Structure 1
Amino acid sequence: MKIRVVSSKEEIENVDESEEIVHMAFRPSNTDIFSLVMRCPNLKALHIPSSYKRTISSSAKMFLEMQGISLLEGDVWGHRKDINEYSEVSRNVYNRIKDLRENNLSDEEIVDKMVKETRLSTDFIQFLMKQQESQDTQKAASTK
């Protein structure tokens, strides 16, 4: 899964309309969030550093919730924007979640293990698990 990294307000107008997950590496205002959501109709999640998440207004949170967009906390560790505008969640993360599920671990146990192993935030791991469940359900439905 690719995460589009946006480093400034000025970059919002250059974000591809098909983006589904965007990491805002700056403290976004309500206007920035609204502009991004209007620019990207398929947006599923907005990922921001924890220090910035605490400053997001309740009206912005409510707006994202009404749009069905998850507000996720976290950083894109080791990402170099000057090299690539995307950060990517490794396929290994999805494979590890699948392995843990096959070992009958509870969702809480999987989240705990994955947070320790990957340094991704709890809510981001939960989001990935939901996405994976949704994809698995769609695949199962299409094979019937």
Structure 2
Amino acid sequence: MDFRKIMRIDKYLWCVRYYKTRNMVTEACKKNQITVNGQIAKPSKEVFPTDRITFRKDQITQIITVLDIPQNRVGAKLVDLYQKNETPPEAFAHLEMLKLSKEHSRRTGAGRPTKKDRRDIDDYGDEFYDDEEDHDEN
């Protein structure tokens, strides 16, 4: 058996730069967010070339196929040698829509005023009272 072609799932996802730390992968495994060939994976689950890994990260369910096992963590430009991303483009389009919807400000009258709204209201009131003081002197 060639031991270089076997790697733990936590180390593999860290090596191909989907997670910044192995601890983050371990937490995702504990939350049942990572599956290998349709089965929920523990952090110690071994992956082999041709395995299909599905995991949820940044509100996107990503699907990758293992092409090869790296020796160590690889540079960003070399990641495509070790995995094939099969995530549908619609998932990324959905993420863009979520980002755009968050940028949209809240509707007027929906909930409490924000700090900026409150300051604008206070400034408007100050301008109104400043005008009255000018009229009282005349």
The structure that has the greater radius of gyration is 2
> Please, what TM-score do these two structures have when normalized by structure 2?
0.30
Structure with more of its chain in helix, by fraction: 1
> Please, what TM-score do these two structures have when normalized by structure 1?
0.29
Flag the structure with more relative contact order, 1 or 2, with Cα contacts below 8 A and sequence separation at least 6. Answer: 1
